[in-house]
Copies of this chain bind each other. A is one copy, B any other.
């Protein structure tokens, strides 16, 4: 599959590397053609990995992962061009974190809206699927690094797009029963608000290499 990854930070590089390992043709996209992090990644990624601008990445890809910082996500996607993304699956991994007011970060959008919804509204012809944003990137692509089962949430308005994304996630090592479909893209409010608790747990435990398991009893 031709897959684009927008964002050259730890999340973008980690996902791009995993996708190359799985045999996909991957372009790591950034704001400028001369981005050194993207070029550095492409050098080590082998023949399946290339670097490009956001626009080149949007044009070259059938599925696009948004791994940019939340504050810049909409701008990055606009640079990838709406026409390039039309009809395509956009996997939104970003979080609308605002670190400008001190630590831990707050959210730029929350409660009655979410970044996932903002992206879907801004790109109505794309099929936005929110997933993977609830954990550290090392776990995203290597879920079996944890010694117990745990969950990854999926939301989006298009059932077919969610099926495509779940298939990719299973190729990362996620088990079918670990993928919890929360419904339409408004569930991104829940997925993103989780960061508020994630950040507090991280602050208390000093270990970001964790995720959550849902422990259920008999329905009440």
Chain B residues with CB under 8 Å of A148's CB are 213, 215
Residues of B within 8 A of A48 (CB): none
Q: Tell me the complex Cα distance, A112–B107, Å.
A: 8
Taking a contact as CB atoms under 8 Å apart, the answer to whether A210 and B201 are in contact is: no
Interface size class of A (residues with CB under 8 A): 35 or more
**Is chain A's binding surface mostly helix, strand, loop or mixed?**
mixed
A122 interface contact, C-beta 8 A: no
Q: Which residues of the other chain, B, contact A193 by a CB distance below 8 angstroms? A: 110, 193-194, 196-197
Query: Among A17-25, A78-86, A183-191, which stretch is in contact with chain B?
Result: A183-191
Question: Does A60 count as interface, using CB distance less than 8 angstroms?
Answer: no
Specify which of B107, B147, B190 is in contact with A200 (CB 8 Å cutoff). Answer: B190
Interface positions, chain A 129-170, Cβ under 8 Å from B, are 136, 138-139, 145-150, 153, 155
B182 A207 Cβ-Cβ under 8 A: no
Q: A18-35: which have CB < 8 Å to B?
A: none
